[in-house]
Amino acid sequence: MMAMIGRNGGRLPAAPGNRLFTTASLRGAAAPLMTQLTADRPPAHAMAISWIRAPAVRFRSESTISLDQKAARPHSHEEKASGSVGGGGEEEGIVSYWGISPSKVTKEDGTEWKWKSFRPWDTYKSNLSIDLKKHHAPLTFLDKLALKTVKAMRYPADIFFQKRYGCRAMMLETVAAIPGMVAGVLLHCRSLRRFEHSGGWIKALLEEAENERMHLMTFMEVSRPRWYERALVFAVQGVFFNAYLLGYIISPKFAHRVVGYLEEEAIHSYTEFLKELDNGSIENVPAPAIALDYWQLPPDSTLRDVVLSVRADEAHHRDVNHFASDIHYQGHELREAPAPLGYH
């Protein structure tokens, strides 16, 4: 325990955690407090007091309080809760003391852009000129292992979802969006450790992960998952994330080959989805608004147009990951070959 030395040489104990102030600095606002403290004490004893304990009141620094917060202080809690502050009961906007404010984005026709997860410059028109029958023939042991791994993953999905392709697509996208993120993060850390460029592969893989996530956001508008399907996502995502992380650390060429075969299976699943739409087993509903803006589809587009765009994306991801695996098989690193940025 710390002790303070008074003017008469005595030692005054100080409780830990409490701040003490010398009376030499308390001349203005603290004078009445000193008078009250020493009113009932003899003058000699009062002269021995050289330190007083500050009242246990905590203050927030004014520099950390925004102008909007200061302006809102006079209003009551009832007004804030009811949203009456600001007039009209409208929801208060987000303000920033640091000068950061969301920019207002509009479409080409001048209407307000309503999506916060992506902007107009992130949208594109899907390239549908793809070879759906393209397949990488497994030649090496790792290739065969990668193909068998993907086939083993597909088997339980066929049993669980059967022909509910909307829910199947959601489950597929929760898995397909993981490899690009994992590989991108690992390459990012590798680039930092080695002080070297990545050849654009970090951005390309993260771009792939974001594209797969947008597939999921789209199908969420078409088919609502049940509670046990959501629970299944937790389990599958936890297992697949850690398995792919370990696999990529051990052998990137094997990991990319797995994704290449996984995308081939995705193409097959979406082709079956289109067949069900064409024969009327699944209603060809209007395309969700998020799909119209993300793929720049015409206003009268339907679910079939969305599935065509998604299938084209999966074909492009197939090509990119098989290409990445081939680079490793030829004894090179990804940074030695320019990444196919923007190749959806």
3-class secondary-structure state, position 22:
strand
What is the C-alpha separation between 34 and 85, in angstroms, rounded?
42
Q: How far is the CA of 300 from the CAs of 75, 108, 291, 305, in angstroms?
A: 49, 18, 12, 10
Rg value, the chain, Cα: 32
CB 146 within 8 A of CB 257: yes
Q: Which of 143, 149, 132 shows the shortest CA–CA distance to 328?
A: 143
Largest CA distance in the chain: 103
- Residue 226 DSSP symbol: P
Looking at residue 41, its pLDDT comes to 52
Q: What is the pLDDT along the chain (344 residues), one digit of tens a residue?
A: 444 444 445 554 444 444 444 444 444 444 444 445 445 555 544 444 444 454 444 444 444 444 444 445 444 444 444 443 334 445 566 777 888 877 788 887 778 888 888 888 889 998 888 888 899 999 999 999 999 999 888 777 766 666 666 677 777 888 889 999 999 999 999 999 999 999 999 999 999 999 999 999 898 887 777 777 778 888 888 899 999 999 999 999 999 999 999 999 999 889 988 998 999 888 899 999 999 999 999 999 999 999 999 999 999 999 999 999 999 999 999 999 988 877 66
Q: Which of 245, 273, 104 is nearest to 172 (CA)?
A: 273
Which of these, 30, 92, 340, lies nearest to 204 by C-alpha position?
Answer: 340
Angle between helices 227-250 and 252-278 (to 10 degrees): 150
Beta bridge partners of 4: 12
Residue type, 197: H
| The pLDDT value given to residue 66 | 43
Helix 165-194 to helix 141-161 angle (10° resolution) is: 140
Q: What DSSP state is assigned to residue 280?
A: T
* Cβ atoms of 261 and 254 closer than 8 Å: no
What pTM does this model have?
0.70
Q: Are 255 and 181 in contact (CB under 8 A)?
A: no
Q: How far apart are CA 91 and CA 114, in angstroms?
A: 17
Q: Are 290 and 221 in contact (CB under 8 A)?
A: yes
Task: For residues 84 and 63, give the distance between their C-alpha atoms in angstroms, rounded to a whole number.
Answer: 27
